[in-house]
Chain A
């Protein structure tokens, strides 16, 4: 059973055209993360939510925004995608301080 779901799996957008990636979870975890992963590199944390408490990494570009309307859903908005934003975007969740982090399958973003 899918636990962390990301849609779409592949997204093509045009340079400068806003795009939204979505993540949902059936685990009822209170922590949700967005990572950016470029080819053959480790995931890079963009931001995370602890419940509704939003935490932005210091080096996350302003071009990236996030929304979490409820426990189950989290969105990543890229306001003006550049060619350098082409990457895999991973969503992850965690139940609590001692718990394991679970990843979704990712959305691969292509910017034309």
Chain B
């Protein structure tokens, strides 16, 4: 069974600094997708970034980028120039073709002004 592990229950970062959230996963599949979702307190879960496993290039969305290490089964999220609005629960998720999404336990990010 596929599992997703987020080893950091909580992280904090100073405003304008950079923070990296870790995620590892376990799978025997070769074709799959990885996601980072953000869930602010009492608000909607939204997609931050997505990576297809067959793509070697790391995905980037503005201040958000990933470090995808397929051999190591690692998928970390880097947030640059952190803003107060980045404070949220971040979930790493995995899905292979035709299967349901598996979530990590989440990392709560605090941004200090």
Give chain A's interface residues, CB within 8 Å of chain B.
Answer: 33, 40-43, 45, 48, 90, 97-98, 100-106, 108
**Interface status of B55 (Cβ within 8 A of chain A):** no
Kindly identify which residue among A97, A102, A104, A105 contacts B47, using a CB–CB cutoff of 8 Å.
Answer: A102
Known: A43-B45, A45-B101, A106-B44. 8 other contacts (CB 8 A): A33-B100, A43-B103, A45-B100, A100-B47, A100-B50, A101-B47, A103-B37, A103-B45
- B8 CB to nearest A CB, Å: 14
- B61 CB to nearest A CB, Å: 12
Contact A105 B35 (CB under 8 A): no
CA distance A102 to B35 in the complex (A): 12
**Residue of A33, A100, A101, A103 with most partner-chain B CB within 10 A:** A101
CA distance A103 to B93 in the complex (A): 13
Interface 9-mer from B11-19, B70-78, B104-112 = B104-112
Q: Which residues of B contact A101 (CB under 8 A)?
A: 35, 47, 95, 101
**Interface status of B46 (Cβ within 8 A of chain A):** yes
**Residue of A42, A100, A101 with most partner-chain B CB within 10 A:** A42
CA distance A98 to B42 in the complex (A): 29
Contact A40 B89 (CB under 8 A): yes
Contact B33 A98 (CB under 8 A): yes
**Interface status of B85 (Cβ within 8 A of chain A):** no
**Cβ < 8 Å to A, chain B residues 1-37:** 33, 35, 37
- A109 CB to nearest B CB, Å: 14
**Interface status of B68 (Cβ within 8 A of chain A):** no
Residue of A nearest to B43 (CB): A105
Q: Which residues of B contact A103 (CB under 8 A)?
A: 37, 44-46
Contact A42 B106 (CB under 8 A): yes
Contact B50 A42 (CB under 8 A): no
**Interface status of B113 (Cβ within 8 A of chain A):** no
